Structure 1
Amino acid sequence: MARKNVKPAATMSNEQTPLLKRDGHVVENETPAGIPAPRSRDATSEPRRPPQAIAHRGYKALFPENTMLAFRAAVEAGAHAIETDLHLSKDGVVVLMHDPKLKRCYGDDSKVKDHDWSSLSKLRTVREPPQPMPQLVELLEYLNQPELQHIWIMLDIKRDDDPATIIRRTAETLDSVPGIRPWHERVLPCCWTAEHVKLSKEFLPKYPLAHVGFSTTYARALAKHEPSLSISMLYHSLALPVVGARFIREVKEAGHPLHSWTVNDEDRMEWCVRNGLNGVVTDDPKLFLEVAKRVAEEEKVKNEGAAVSRRPSGVPLSARAWRVFEWTRYILGMLIVVNIYLFKHGLPWTQVPKALGK
């Protein structure tokens, strides 16, 4: 497979790429390829670094999502990590696709799991320019270049396939591409449920794990039993007054790396930077890097004692109205989801340890 040699954009800072030099020394194993490592409680006083830019399905703002074109563009824009989604074809190939159905991205009114790879490989995206659906192995081969070994990968393991099968096939796919740097230092499997966490620990024992979700209660229950767990939480759950602030404080004190998804507005990006998150999943990694740099410069000037001129948020009235609707939808949706969950599974504090086999 032909590889395009791409050097990361100059916007990527040495402080956020462990393989680059810092203070004249090469830091190779401080954290897994930029994946923020768990910190001890007394490490919270360390100088804060800007959150890492995690490209949501690649450079989704400009290119068809979850395609090699979008992934390459994200790398060229300076993203520290690639976020992508996993599904299984009918014949067990791990493909990079968010939806269980093909309709939105590929125009075919059927499901991914209904097709063998030979059929899926012929599809092209509805969004221009038309692109084929990639396998996980293609992304691994692309990133398996010396100049790209500092970039890490966030794998969102979808719940539409049998959990044991998709996690086992993911492990086999990772093993099939010998990494120039071990994949367990670069890949962060993301699990929605305790069952997925347990299976990932079985099939991917060397890999750090993350919980991706929107319930701070469920995340707390998981983190209590998994001290090295990273947490990738919906922006609205973190920005919720009182509840979100308390969760962020508790997670930081416990040393869990914390990411937010999916953040595309400048004022929300700025909020993530100022709240000291470890990473931000965004459709526009280039814009996020610009915002993070601007906020860092403002804070530097402020720390030096100079007056800082803060830019107005510039959120138009129509956007503000949409956000009121968005927050209302979020709160109502959470109430519905929580009640359904409680009815089916019971309290997370009892269900999670049971699923983990604790």
Structure 2
Amino acid sequence: MTLIFAHRGYSAVYPENTMKAFREAEKAGADGIELDVQLTKDGEIVVIHDEKVDRTTNGRGHVKDLTLKELRKLDAGFHKKKIFSNHEPIPSLVEVLEWMRTNEMICNIELKNGVYPYEGMEDKVINLIREYEMKERIILSSFNHYSIVYCYRVAPEIETAPLFSEGLYMPWIYAQSIGAKSIHPKYTIAKNELIQMSEDYGIAVRPYTVNKEKEMHRLISTGCAGLITDNPVIAKKIREVYE
């Protein structure tokens, strides 16, 4: 069965990468969530996609230049104020893991360390995963494949998945070579043959960000392990057609 991961939570409707979006993804019947992590000025792991807070909050500046306390004051639901009046803080990874203790959700943590290397971030994330005993329910992904390889060497018990948006020749071989059990390609390059060959070699394929219904039909019928979408409700309805 193709698992449905809510991209930054149920972000088609709710403010991305907020606890509200994650809780609503669970209510919508998603199997898992996908989120992004960065490091604050005081070394805390926070859940936010961009290196700057400008697009998703009512604040300005870089995540790395603000403390957790300063970031928590910002409203991550600011741009969807017409729909949601509540203040939605930027979550810490600890907050997400605490919430995961109340459910069975799987979580794909994307390490956002391509622009700023965020020294020590991998170790901090891995330590938290171990502390919360979540190794069976977490996948670590990144466009920074050096980071992915580091995670595999330090914590081989946690699944890793390289992200890529360009065509990669025989990605299942590449994945095996770096110890990754899965790959997360952009859906436009996740051709049916690539999915089938990878899955045959024991490499799970979870394309991102799949929002077109036609593509959901194609990927689910091809039998990919999972798909990452902004709209888990639509994906779930389409999956039911194939069950």
Same fold (TM over 0.5): yes
1:257 corresponding residue in structure 2: 204
Give 1:118 deviation, angstroms: 1.1
TM-align CA RMSD: 1.8
Give 1:227 deviation, angstroms: 5.4
1:292 corresponding residue in structure 2: 239
Q: Which of 142, 156, 162 pairs up with 1:211?
A: 162
Instruction: Decide whether the 8 Å contact of 1:167 with 1:203 is kept in 2.
Output: no
1:135 corresponding residue in structure 2: 92
Instruction: Decide whether the 8 Å contact of 2:172 with 2:201 is kept in 1.
Output: no
User: Partner amino acid for 2:192?
Assistant: A
Within 2, Cα distance between the matches of 1:222 and 1:193? 14
Within 1, Cα distance between the matches of 2:73 and 2:155? 31
Give 1:124 deviation, angstroms: 0.4
Change (3 A) 1:274 1:74: same
1:266 corresponding residue in structure 2: 213
Q: Which runs of 4+ in 1 moved over 3 A?
A: 218-221
Change (3 A) 1:172 1:161: farther
Instruction: Decide whether the 8 Å contact of 2:42 with 2:67 is kept in 1.
Output: yes
Q: Name whichever structure is richer in strand by fraction.
A: 2
User: Partner amino acid for 2:127?
Assistant: E
Identity of aligned residues (%): 28
Asked if 1:235 corresponds to 2:187, the answer is yes
| Deviations, residues 11-32 of structure 1 (Å, cap 9, x unaligned) | xxxxxxxxxxxxxxxxxxxxxx
Give 1:253 deviation, angstroms: 2.2
| Deviations, residues 300-337 of structure 1 (Å, cap 9, x unaligned) | xxxxxxxxxxxxxxxxxxxxxxxxxxxxxxxxxxxxxx
Within 2, Cα distance between the matches of 1:95 and 1:248? 32
Instruction: Decide whether the 8 Å contact of 1:60 with 1:283 is kept in 2.
Output: yes
Give 1:287 deviation, angstroms: 1.2
Within 2, Cα distance between the matches of 1:202 and 1:122? 36
Asked if 1:93 corresponds to 2:44, the answer is yes
SS, match of residue 184 in structure 1: coil
Instruction: Decide whether the 8 Å contact of 1:211 with 1:229 is kept in 2.
Output: no
Q: Structure 1 stretches of 5 or more lacking a match?
A: 1-48, 239-243, 297-358
Larger Rg: 1
Asked if 1:225 corresponds to 2:170, the answer is no
The number of equivalent residue pairs is 235
Once the two structures are overlaid, the 10-residue window that deviates more, 201-210 or 104-113, is 201-210
2:106 corresponding residue in structure 1: 152
Asked if 1:64 corresponds to 2:11, the answer is no
Within 1, Cα distance between the matches of 2:125 and 2:201? 29
Within 1, Cα distance between the matches of 2:64 and 2:135? 27
User: Partner amino acid for 1:143?
Assistant: M
Within 1, Cα distance between the matches of 2:160 and 2:118? 15
Instruction: Decide whether the 8 Å contact of 2:149 with 2:179 is kept in 1.
Output: no
Within 2, Cα distance between the matches of 1:190 and 1:74? 20
